[in-house]
A = this chain, B = another copy of it.
Amino acid sequence: MQRKLRMGMVGGSRGSFIGNVHRMAAALDGQFELVCGAFSSDPARAIERGAEWFIRRERVYASYAEMFDAERKLEARERMDFVSIVTPNHLHFPIASAAFEAGFHVVCDKPLAHNVKEATALVKQAERRDLLCCVTYNYTGYPMIRQARALARGGKLGKLRKIIVEYAQGWLATRIEAAGQKQALWRTDPSQSGAAGCIGDIGSHAQNLAEYVTGLRITELCADLTTFVHGRKLDDDGNILLRFNEGARGVLLSSQVAVGEENRLALRIYGERGALEWQQQEPNTLVVNWVDQPGQILRTGADHGFAQPAKDATRLPAGHPEGFVEAFANIYREFGLALDARLHGKKKLRGGHDFPTAHDGLRGMKFIEAAVRSAATGRKWISLR
């Protein structure tokens, strides 16, 4: 790269979990510079955050509209290159749309939008404007997930038969939104979160991960969504039977009331000749089983003939644990390579630009809508085609 890529941020004031994650992920490899932000609708909080992150005062904006407007007018050598959107869900669409309109590339937290219609519009808008749109399905950034993908798609496991994917958390086991917990408040509010609660917030990560690793697509599903906590308006738990193309079957489990679970995103894939098991809370281990030899333990950073994308996503020798931020930073890194190529007319680099796009975001919305529709009907299978 010839220079650091300049990043703006919408959202991310104090109390935002994901804003700080994006900031750290962008910082890790030294390839991005956070130059401006519309961190909060509360000016004092916005300024506080700007100071904390050493943003020049004049580039801490009162709103995303003001920011896009002001940045557009800056000279090319100063102007932000792209904006990262880290607000509650319901704001993703208007902000991303305005960013595209103003000619900025976008990194948007998932879900991309509130519904399929909005997501479709964003896909089209980005394409029309020829702008990059990265949707941070961050769990695809783990090195062992990239190795899993190489194994699963490369035929080593044989034809895939069964996929079990689970995302379980316990933090919403009680009604903490009633006590004003900020993260819980918007996630359990349909006007901010969308038609789905748990299945949208984390179930969609599970869907994305399963499809990313296997290359298969969910064709039909049968969902049982539940709201366990009294007074909550959205589902906080869901179990879904899955059918994939090419005859694979599976299950997606998701919960935010699973007491004691922290962030248990787990994936298992069974093929005719081999099988994989991975768990996000110990992300540097990938267990591979074989129909005719002992199980193997693959480890991030080990020199075991890994696929190039797994190597590219690794920063440290084996045994030096790489975590959540590092995986998130891999998404930023791939996006940065693509953006750099775009900005400076380079060719595609080795390993491609492997980051989730608006298409993946749209796919996620389709999954969420199908799950909600399935939960409301007595029909067994709902198509996702």
Contact = CB atoms under 8 A, between A and B. Distances in A.
A249 B257 contact: no
A383 to B, nearest CB: 13
Interface stretch (A77-85, A317-325, A336-344): A317-325
Size band of the interface chain A makes with B = 35 or more
A150 interface: no
Nearest to A239: B251
Nearest to A270: B258
Contacts of A130: none
A318 B323 CA distance: 12
Nearest to A378: B380
Interface in A212-226: 222, 224, 226
A145 to B, nearest CB: 13
A302 interface: yes
Given A321-B324, A322-B325, A241 B224 contact: yes
Given A224-B243, A324-B321, A297 B299 contact: no
A170 interface: yes
Interface of A: 1, 3-4, 17, 20-21, 23-24, 27-30, 34, 53-54, 157, 161-162, 164, 169-171, 173-174, 222, 224, 226, 228, 237, 239, 241, 243, 249-251, 253, 255, 257-264, 270-275, 280-284, 287-291, 293-299, 301-302, 304, 315-326, 377-381
